[in-house]
Amino acid sequence: MSRKRRNPASLDGSTAQILTIQLISLLYQKLRLTRFYTFTIYIEVFYVQIVCITCFTF
């Protein structure tokens, strides 16, 4: 009996959320070095909005 493997490209909500958190922390670590705190916060909020929109439309 063969088991069907799940397509890794298809993300469920939890996976997308984890990826978002990882990417945000990466962005934060990179931008923290340049000390643009307000810019970092702006990027984080903007990125979360984009990810949420793309997750829920597909």
In this structure, which amino acid lies at residue 17? Q
Tell me whether residue 1 is in a domain. no
Tell me whether residue 49 is in a domain. yes
Task: Please state the domain count of the chain.
Answer: 1
What single DSSP character describes residue 16?
Answer: H
Tell me whether residue 38 is in a domain. yes
Tell me whether residue 6 is in a domain. no
Tell me whether residue 25 is in a domain. yes
Domain span at 41 = 13-57
Distances (CA, A) of 26 to 6, 17, 29, 46: 27, 14, 5, 15
Tell me whether residue 29 is in a domain. yes
pTM higher than the cut 0.85: no
Average pLDDT, the chain: 68
More confident residue, 25 or 31: 25
Tell me whether residue 3 is in a domain. no
